[in-house]
């Protein structure tokens, strides 16, 4: 009887491990990204600014936002991540990457070596980006100055440092669906929805997360604890921005100035450096979309945070 029990336990364990191994495996990367393509560098620049690439990947403590040597520390409840070098440096950056390598990384969270990237890289939003935008972004990055220097490894404790587990996380929190326009809405609204939900990855910071680090879908954009560990990220549904007009939002994205003459703080300062480079039409589109979000209650901030006038 004991022998049969042990055999059964081993069989169940082996089956469970087999399911885990299958679900957690990085999917096969895209070998090619399509037919011959002539990049649109102007669109690549727009994508670069909308995606906020320099916010994380610019070398810290220097003024040039185009020196994408990485190194920024990104704290989280799961450890501290360090933004990598994405300059076109052949040794330390992405200079030897193919276009397919880049598309796989940005939209699927897969490295050229075939392992999972940690979701501190917001590919959960970038997965919805248009292929041509990602290809144009890659072409734009190749025009920027190469920056030498390897970035240190992430400081992530066990068990969160097991990259294989990220395959399960992706299975739970990534749908792999492209952005689908709403035919009942205006072109500007759809542009804003696309920028906010894909390239702009606004929900990544402005949404509360569950214990696994996944966005709580019912409270998307409703604010919550700052993922970087300090402060509170505000609600950007109409619960939080109900008194703001579309012009107020667009102006904030351009200047960082709020309607009550305050200014952006924290990591939002880096975001404004990017959104200020977008066209007025794109900022207006983002504003139109955000004003259309219904009011959603987010988690209550701690008393100390509730007393201060939090800003987007």
Domain co-membership, 48 together with 169: yes
Q: Closest Cα partner for 117 from 48, 46, 166, 172?
A: 166
SS3 183: coil
Residue 105 and residue 142 share a domain:
yes
Q: Domains in the chain: how many in total?
A: 2
Q: Are residues 58 and 113 in the same domain?
A: yes
CATH at 226: 1.10.760
Closest by CA position to 125, among listed 206, 218, 204, 198: 198
195 & 167 share domain: no
Give the pLDDT of residue 33: 60
- Are 63 and 157 contained in the same domain? yes
Domain assignment of residue 262, yes or no: yes
Q: Is residue 165 part of a domain?
A: yes
Helix 41-51 to helix 268-275 angle (10° resolution) is: 160
For residue 243, give its domain range.
Answer: 187-307
Task: Look at residues 151, 173, 195 and tell me which one is the last residue of a structural domain.
Answer: 173
Q: Which pLDDT score, from 0 to 100, does residue 145 have?
A: 95
Residues 6+ apart with CB under 8 A from 41: 136, 139, 140, 143
pTM of the model: 0.86
Residues 273 and 66 sit within 8 Å (Cβ to Cβ)? no
Place of tokens 């169940």: 12
Beta strand extents in the chain (DSSP E only): 73-76, 79-82, 224-225, 232-233
pLDDT along the chain (312 residues), means of 10: 50 44 50 74 96 93 91 90 95 95 95 92 95 96 95 88 85 89 96 96 93 92 80 90 94 91 83 94 97 92 56 53
Assigned domain for 110 exists: yes
Does residue 24 lie in a domain region?
A: no
Looking at the structure, do residues 154 and 192 belong to the same domain, yes or no? no
């Amino acid at each position: 009887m004991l022998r049969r029990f042990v055999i059964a336990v081993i069989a169940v364990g082996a089956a469970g491990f087999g399911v885990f191994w299958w679900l957690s495996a990085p999917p096969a990367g895209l070998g090619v990204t399509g037919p011959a393509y002539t990049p649109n560098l102007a669109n690549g620049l727009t994508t670069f600014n909308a995606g906020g690439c320099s916010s994380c990947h610019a070398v810290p403590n220097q003024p040039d936002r185009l020196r994408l040597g990485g190194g920024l520390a990104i704290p989280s409840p799961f450890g501290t991540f360090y933004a990598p070098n994405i300059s076109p440096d052949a040794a330390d950056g992405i200079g030897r990457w193919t276009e397919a390598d880049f598309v796989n990384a940005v939209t699927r969270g897969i490295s050229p070596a075939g392992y999972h990237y940690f979701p501190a890289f917001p590919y959960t939003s970038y997965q919805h980006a248009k292929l041509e935008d990602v290809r144009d972004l890659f072409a734009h990055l190749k025009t920027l100055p190469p920056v030498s220097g390897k970035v240190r490894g992430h400081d992530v404790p066990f068990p969160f440092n097991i990259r294989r587990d990220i395959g399960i996380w992706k299975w739970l929190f990534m749908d792999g669906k492209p952005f689908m326009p709403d035919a009942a809405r205006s072109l500007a609204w759809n542009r804003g929805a696309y920028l906010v939900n894909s390239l702009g990855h606004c929900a990544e910071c402005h949404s509360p997360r569950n214990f696994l680090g996944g966005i709580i879908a019912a409270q998307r954009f409703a604010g919550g604890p700052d993922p970087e560990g300090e402060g509170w990220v505000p609600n950007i549904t109409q619960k939080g921005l109900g008194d703001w007009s579309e012009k107020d939002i667009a102006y904030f994205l351009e200047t960082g100035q709020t309607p009550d003459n305050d200014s952006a703080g924290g990591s939002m300062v880096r975001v404004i450096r990017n959104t200020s480079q977008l066209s007025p039409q794109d900022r207006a589109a983002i504003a139109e979309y955000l004003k259309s979000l219904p009011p959603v209650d987010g988690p209550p901030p701690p008393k100390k945070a509730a007393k201060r006038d939090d800003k987007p």
